Amino acid sequence: MSEKFNNTEVVLLDKVNQLIDDNLGNESFSSDTICKEFGLSRSQLFRLIKESSDLSISLYIRQRKLQKAKELLLNSELKISEITYAVGIDSPQSFSKYFTETYGVSPTEYRKNKDKLIVQNYNQNTDSEIITEKRVSKKSFNKNWLWVIPILLILFSSIYFFQNNTTTNNQLNTDNSIAILPFKNIGNIDNSFFAEGLMEQVHSSLTLLKKLKVISKNSSSQFKDSPKTIPQIANELQVTYILDGTIKQVGSKLLVSIELVKAKEDRTIWIKSFEAETNDVIGITNKITKEIVEVLHEQLSDIDTKQLNKIQTTNTEAYNEYLQGRQLLATRTKEKMIASLEKMDRAIALDPSFADAYASKASVYFFLGNLNYINIDSSFRMAEQEALEAIRIDVANAEAYGLLAAIYQDQHKWEQANTTFQIALRCNPNNAQVNYWYSLMLRSFGMLDEALEYSTKALSLDPLSPVILAGHIRNCSYSNKIALANEAIKKGELLFNDSYLFYWSTGYHYLHIKDYPKALSDLTKAQKLNPTVKGVNAAIAYTQACMGQDAAAKTYLANLPNMPENYTYFAMVYAGLKDKENSFKYLEQMATLKQIPLDIKVSPFFRYLDGDKRFNELLKRFGLLDVKVEVE
- Can you tell me whether residue 263 is helix, strand or coil? helix
**Dihedral of alpha carbons 187, 193, 195, 196, sign:** positive
The DSSP string of 65-80 is HHHHHHHHHHH----H
Q: What is the 3-state secondary structure (H, E, C) of 274-287?
A: EEEEHHHHHHHHHH
* Identity at 45, one-letter amino acid code: L
Phi-psi region of 446 (alpha: psi -120 to 50; beta: other; left: phi over 0): left
Q: Which CATH architecture has domain 7-110?
A: Orthogonal Bundle (1.10)
For position 292, what pLDDT does the model report?
A: 82
Q: Which helix (H) or strand (E) element contains residue 178?
A: strand 177-180
Rounded CA separation 62/88 (Å): 9
Could you tell me if 584 and 594 are in contact, meaning their C-beta atoms sit under 8 angstroms apart? no
Domain residue ranges in the chain = 7-110, 132-159+312-430, 177-311
Beta strand 132-135 with 124-127 is: antiparallel
pTM above 0.75, yes or no: no
pLDDT tens sequence across 12-70: 877 888 888 777 766 677 888 888 888 888 888 888 888 777 788 888 888 888 888 88
Phi, psi of 446 (to 5 degrees): 85, 10
Intervals of the chain under pLDDT 70: 1-11, 25-27, 77, 113-175, 187-193, 279, 281-282, 297-311
For position 561, what pLDDT does the model report?
A: 94
For position 301, what pLDDT does the model report?
A: 57
What class has domain 177-311?
A: alpha beta
Please list the helix, strand and coil fractions of the chain in percent, rounded to the nearest 5, in that order: 65, 5, 25
Rounded CA separation 59/70 (Å): 16
DSSP label of 612:
-
For position 304, what pLDDT does the model report?
A: 61
Rounded CA separation 187/416 (Å): 47
Rounded CA separation 455/468 (Å): 7
* Identity at 165, one-letter amino acid code: N
Q: Which CATH architecture has domain 132-159+312-430?
A: Alpha Horseshoe (1.25)
For position 200, what pLDDT does the model report?
A: 79
* Identity at 282, one-letter amino acid code: I
For position 214, what pLDDT does the model report?
A: 92
With vertex at residue 390, the alpha carbon angle to CA 354 and CA 368, rounded to the nearest 5 degrees, is: 100
pLDDT tens sequence across 412-432: 999 999 999 999 998 889 999
Rounded CA separation 515/521 (Å): 10
